[in-house]
Structures are given as structure tokens and as C-alpha cells.
Amino acid sequence: MTDLTYETERGEGGELHQRHPAKAPHGPEGHLTTNQGIRVSDNQNQLKTGPRGPVALEDFVLREKIFHFDHERIPERIVHARGSAAHGFFENYESLSDLTKADLFQRAGERTPLFTRFSTVAGGAGSVDTPRDVRGFAVKFYTKEGNWDLVGNNIPVFFIQDAIKFPDLVHSVKMEADRGFPQAATAHDTFWDFVSLMPESTHMLLWIMSDRTIPRNFRTIQGFGVHTFRFVNAKGRSTFVKFHWKPKQGLASTIWDEAVKIAGADPDFQRRDLFEAIEHGDFPEWELGVQTFDEKFAESLPYDVLDATKIIPEEILPVRPIGRMVLDRYPDNFFAETEQVAFCPANVPPGVDFTNDPLLQGRLFSYLDTQKSRLGTANFHQLPINAPKCPVMNFQRDGQMQMAIPKGRANYEPNGLAENGEDSGPRECPATGFRTFPAPEQGDMLRVRPESFADHYSQARLFYRSLDPAEQAHVASAFAFELSKVAIEAVRERVLANLGNVDPDLAGRVANGLNIACPKPSPTAAPVLDLELSPALRIIRGALDLDTLKGRTVGVLIVDGSDGAILDRVVADVEKAGGRAFIVSPRVGGVKLADGSVRKADGQLAGSPSVLFDAAALVLSAEGCAALTKEAAAVQFVMDAFGHLKAIGFTPEAKPLLDKAGVELDEGVVALDRNFVKAAGKRYWDREAKVRMLA
């Protein structure tokens, strides 16, 4: 196999450099240059003060590359273009004054208004809600000290370690430049070619191929700040912090076949779910938790906390709940709010600060620049959705779409106009203003990757081996599916060689799923460690895999002659459990029940497949069931519910439809009695081996 690992080596002066793969595939000979024709010596690393130091503003290669990337799409976001959002509040649990001076964390019970946007990453604004993709999880807190944007994802790690590679990553994952497809999909040559040459992406690939990237809805995803940040208290003491959002509704995903079918049945499924949950008063809720630690703890870890491709497992450092977020109001206007909202990770209040994570450092530059291009003006912060809810006072003036009307002639400082009886404007305040934590920095100005970033496989192994066996099968099957769409054989081989460093079983299962030979593992830049497993990483049979109907929907199929008493009891039981019953019938106008009354339906059978629901109930008459056995939509309704491992409750008259759909009775296929609600709150993973072939 070709050695494609990026390793570090020392130059004659003792400095660290990354060695590029000597035999990596490449095109015609030529020098990489800036847009001014200046040759680029290193396109992998930002210019930093020492290997783990801050990024230098003078890095013109980074600034030009990010600047051009930020302005490639007008006016749509380049990434995270398709999003949904809601208003709500954050409620603080207790004072965190020992950790941070940020005002929103000082008093127990205090509520801070906020706006949260969820999004897919790769697709355009017109793509569907349910592709296999990372979900953005961005929260704008309107604090008394200014806006705080906690801009993260539903995955705690990222593909790359250095922000200078972000344009390359996104270019590779977007639709291929010559043909304009695929849209919102990673299953194509250019994405896998890029990541196969970037071993640092391996950990993220395991997350991407897991069930985390095909979530059931926005309400059942976790959120992560991804980077290591700082808390700074009133005494100037710094504490490292990582942020976690944990859904009170539980963590839930879909089956891949289910996600594909939802995309066809309702492209707006997750957006609609968020809207309807708020409309019905079932307000989505998350707990904000933190992992806090000091420099000594960070140095004790076998990985670097500044590396965005790494996590700190909860079993090593527990997550401390510090407050809750409740989303209780949908936007009044999608464009004015959801589309015009502008996030920037550089927006932090006093008491929250940054670290030298090289991915975070690049993001601090990129986002502000992007908003100018997307929203067309440097005054985008004056839009109502972006405007702070505290006073804004400075000497910035004019520009397109200026909505403020400053008074007086003071537009600079210092000024002495007060001596003339005029308003001299605001002044800096050393006592209450934002003060950057004075971390000591020293080192040569170099484009390097620190040696502590060199292990690309240990945490990927940790993640895979921590999953439930059903999730491991899903990961292997996802790799096999994606790589089956890759036409370049060498790309598949490189990915498999990298997976061999993660787990031989995983690499073998993927190779078997493709029916190709499994290559030897690729060379590594650092030893691969067997880290302690982390059950907290599981979805299936994990701590947040809740057996509940609260906030979930049951599709109830009825026909002419259905028993109204049974129907009413099922609806009442589902609602009592905190769920919602959605009535489905062949005709949306309703059906005539056994007692002669007419019951209207919420949806037509052909347009309301079972993929849209969390469980299915069949309240059928014998005559109506006989007719449904000849209706493909009805057979598919039941077949998919069974194949997607959902609970099915049925009246005795519905048995012929079950038989026609090939449904076998198990603990999740039950009589439609009082026990159905208990069965309906979970999926039946042990059934999966009977209904599909997995890698």
C-alpha cells in the first residue's frame, strides 16, 4: 500500500514539519500558488506561534483561501444552507461564579432568551431534511452582556485538525464540480478520495457512518461545542471547558432505508416535526452540560485537548449539567429569522474565551467575513434576529443598510468633545469589558502540526468498539454502501487500509460487503492505543435510548367498519403517554365506523406511510382488511413498520394484512390492548437480522 500518512519530522534547526505523502496520487506537475502567483510551501497548516500556539494574523495564505471560500456562494450559506430554527430560553441551574464571570451563569433560575438553528451541512437550501449528514446545532444566547453564539454540531469531533483544510473538505463533499451532483450526499468519489488521503478524518468518518447522522428528528439529537474553550472567573482564573447539549426527549435515529423513504414521503420531515412539536406544546428541551478541567488534567491525557478530532469520554470526565434550553416559539417569518440569522463563534461574553485549537482559530476569522457576503452588508448585526438585547454603543458608522441613526459629531475616540458640552460617546471599560485570558505564548513562527495531534486511529477504535453490536453493523453497512458508489478502486483500498487501523473486524466486514480483498492496514504516524471503552457513545441501548412515547407519534390505520371504541381507547392511551395519534385512512375525508359514525382522518394512506411515525396501530374490520391486502400502500405501510423495527399493534381482524406483509409475531408485534403503549415506545433491534442483510 502507498504510505499516505502525514508524519512529523524535524528540520535542521529542530523545528517540526509535516512530511507529505511522497507517493500520493497527483495530477500534472505544477506549483500550488496564491491568487497572486506566490508559491505555497504548506497547504496543510496555518501559521502558528509554536506547534500549539495561536494563529498569526499575517498568514496571508490562510486569509486568502478562507476569504475566497467564504464568498463562493451568494446569498445561500456555503454549508449549513438548509436549516430550521426556533426561539426559546436558557435557564441556569446554579451559580457558576467559581468557574466563570459570564453573567448568564451567575444566578440560579435566571432565564436568558435564545434562538437555536439546526441544519444539514452538505446540501443546498432546497435539499431534503434526512440525508446522512452532520447536523449543525447553533445557539444564539441574547445575554445581558451581549450575544454569545455557541456554534456546534451534533457530532463532538470534526474531519480536520486545521482550519486551512476546511475549503478542501467542503469542496470534496459538495456536489462534484463538473457534473453538479450528488446533492447532500457523501457517497461519491471526491469526498472519499479526500478523506482517504487525510487519516485525521478517520474518527469523524466513524461518526458520520454511524446512526448519529441519520437522526429521527432535531428534538432527539445531541449537540456539542466541538472545541475546547475556556471559562474565566472574576479572579482571572482559567478553566478549560467542553460544551454538551443532551436531549430530554432521548436520543433516537432512523434506519438507513427509513431515512431514504422519509426523504421521498416528506422532504421537510424534520422541519415539520419541530414546528408541530412546538404547536402542540411539546416543547423540545435539552440540558446544557460541561466538562471542565485544568492544564494538569489535559496534560495527563494520551491525546491533545486542542485537537478537534478528539473527545474526552464521559467515563473519564463526567458531564456536569448546568442548565436547560427550552424551545417554545417557532419563528414568525422563516426568511427574516431562520434564514437571516448570523452566527459567529467569535461572539462570546466576558467569562468565555478561546483556546489555540487551530480549527477554532480559523473559524474565528471565517464566520464574520462570511456574513458580510451572505447578508450583503457590514450592518447585518442590526437585523432584529441578530441584534443584541443589551445596549450597543460604538463609533462604527454608515455602510449599506444602516438602520441606526447616531446623533452628534463624535465618531472617533479618544475625543474631547465633552469639554465643549457635546456628547463624546462611549468609552472603553477595563473593569467590565472583555479581557482575553493572558495565556503565555512563545515559539517560532512555523507551519506545523504538533506531534500530539499525530494519533488518528485510537479514538476511532474507541468509538467503534464502544457501540452496541447493532450500531457496529450499521457503521459497517454504511461504509459498504458509500464505498460501493466510489468508482475509483484505489480510493476504496485507501479507506479500507485506514479502517484496518481502527478495527480488523470493521475493515473485514466492509471489504466483505464490497466483495473485495481487504488490504493491509496503512502505516501510522503514532501507535494505535486500546483506550477504555465509553458506553456513553451509544445510541442503541444507551443512557439516552428512552423507552417512551412522550413526544412521539403513532400512525393509526382505520378503514370502513373499524371499531370506534377501540380507536378511541388507542388514541386516549397514546395521548396519556405523552404521544400523538395520527389517524390514517384510505380516504382523507374519513371512514364510516362500525357504529355508523364517520371519523375524519389526519392523512391519506398513500401520503402517510409508516416511515413518518414511531409506531403503528391497525384498527381494522375484517372486510376492510380484506380490501387493504390488495392495496400496495397498505401492505407497504405494515411491511415498513416491521422492517424498520417499530412496534405494531393490531386488532384480530388485521391479521391477514400482517400475513400479506410478511410480518412475524414478536415482542414488538402485539395485540392492540393496554400493553401496546408500553411496546410502542421503543425499537426492536433483535428483529433486524430477520429483515435485512448487514455487513
Active-site annotation, residues: 80, 153
User: Residue 341: how many CB atoms within 10 A of its CB?
Assistant: 22
Q: CA of 642: how far to CAs of 191, 259, 425, 659, in Å? A: 34, 15, 68, 12
Q: Taking the CA atoms of the chain, what radius of gyration do you get in angstroms?
A: 27
Is 87:114 a contact under the CB 8 Å cutoff? yes
Concatenated DSSP letters of 38-104: PBPS-SS--EEESTTSPBPTT-HHHHHHHHHHHTSSSSS-SSS-SEEEEEEEEEE-S--TTT---GG
> Amino acid identity of 176?
E
C-alpha to C-alpha distance for 301 and 464, rounded to whole angstroms: 20
Distance CA 197, CA 209 (A): 18
CB 287 within 8 A of CB 93: no
Close Cβ partners of 200 (under 8 Å, ≥ 6 residues apart): 6, 159, 160, 161, 309, 453, 456
The contacts of residue 451 (CB under 8 Å, 6+ apart) are 8, 16, 51, 526
CB 133 within 8 A of CB 361: no
Q: How far apart are CA 559 and CA 623, in angstroms?
A: 9
Q: Please state, as a whole number, how many other Cβ atoms lie within 10 Å of the Cβ of residue 331.
A: 19
CA gap 666, 650 in Å, rounded: 13
Between CA 363 and CA 176 the distance in angstroms is: 25
**Sequence letter at residue 297:** F
Burial status of residue 453 (CB atoms within 10 A of its CB: 0-12, 13-18, 19 or more): buried
Helix (H) or strand (E) holding 642: helix 632-643
Q: Which amino acid is at 368?
A: L
Helix pair 189-196, 489-502: axis angle to 10 deg:
50
Residue pair 393/429 in contact (Cβ under 8 Å)? The answer is: no
Helices (H), 503-605: 504-514, 564-576
Distances (CA, A) of 244 to 87, 135, 156, 252, 319: 19, 14, 8, 17, 8
Write down the residue that cell numbers 450500531 correspond to.
471
d(CA 43, CA 162) in angstroms, rounded, equals 10
Strands 580-585 and 603-604 come out as: parallel
Contacts of 96 (CB under 8 A, 6+ apart): 102, 105, 106, 231, 322
Contact at 8 Å (CB) between 676 and 570?
A: yes
Residue 394 phi/psi, 5-degree rounding, is -160, -175
